A and B are shown apart, each in its own frame.
Chain A
Amino acid sequence: DTAVSQTPKYLVTQMGNDKSIKCEQNLGHDTMYWYKQDSKKFLKIMFSYNNKELIINETVPNRFSPKSPDKAHLNLHINSLELGDSAVYFCASSQGWKGASGANVLTFGAGSRLTVL
């Protein structure tokens, strides 16, 4: 069983369209995240949720809307896609924030490569 699974793996779409990426974790973790990785491999956090509650929103445009129906799922919906949205989006999960401990270790999904034409 894949610990953190995200779908789709590849997504090619036109500018202006709306698309969603889904993520599910079966690790029993309380916290889930979305990271964006650009063409230079830089990984930047976008959002984090703890037990369905939004914890971090890193000044991401409001075209991006995360939704967490339960603590095992965190989906990402993107409206009015722009060329600059092309990237690999990674979902991740962790046990939660408990000081300097292994609870902070993130387990990542395999990524969803979004290409906006």
Chain B
Amino acid sequence: GESVGLHLPTLSVQEGDNSIINCAYSNSASDYFIWYKQESGKGPQFIIDIRSNMDKRQGQRVTVLLNKTVKHLSLQIAATQPGDSAVYFCAGVIQGAQKLVFGQGTRLTINP
């Protein structure tokens, strides 16, 4: 079936440390994935995307890794800051279904 799920519902890190948020997907999920950040009281905001013909993509302080063998992707945030506190979602485009399916979400808390 179609599913995009996250390994951990919560993650706490010290300010300045690196964070890694993980996501798993099933066979029927797609060849395109997006990470979103949702701050309290706001809608999800695009962070970074990756196509399945890529293993890695980097943005500003963020890196997404895709391992197609084990159907896993991760979001790495370097030198986390208080403003990084949010719920992070991975989402996969379902092939042929024209829809974006979201994972459960991981709440990232930054400790001072």
Contact = CB atoms under 8 A, between A and B. Distances in A.
Contacts of B98: 48, 50, 55-56, 97
Contact of B44 (A45, A48, A90): A90
Interface string B71-112: 000000000000000010100010001111110110100000
A48 B100 CA distance: 10
B7 interface: no
A53 to B, nearest CB: 12
Nearest to B104: A42
A107 B46 contact: yes
Contacts of B101: 45
A109 B93 contact: no
Interface of A: 4, 35, 40-45, 48, 50, 55-56, 90, 92, 97, 99-102, 104-111
Interface residues on B, range: 20 to 34
B102 A104 contact: no
Contacts of B105: 41-43
Interface of B: 30-32, 34, 38, 41-46, 49, 51-52, 87, 89, 93, 97-102, 104-105, 107
Contacts of B93: 100, 104
A97 B90 CA distance: 18
A108 B45 contact: yes
B24 to A, nearest CB: 16
Nearest to B38: A41
A42 B32 contact: no
B32 A101 contact: yes
A16 to B, nearest CB: 28
Given A41-B104, A42-B102, A109 B43 contact: yes
Contact of A111 (B43, B51, B52): B43
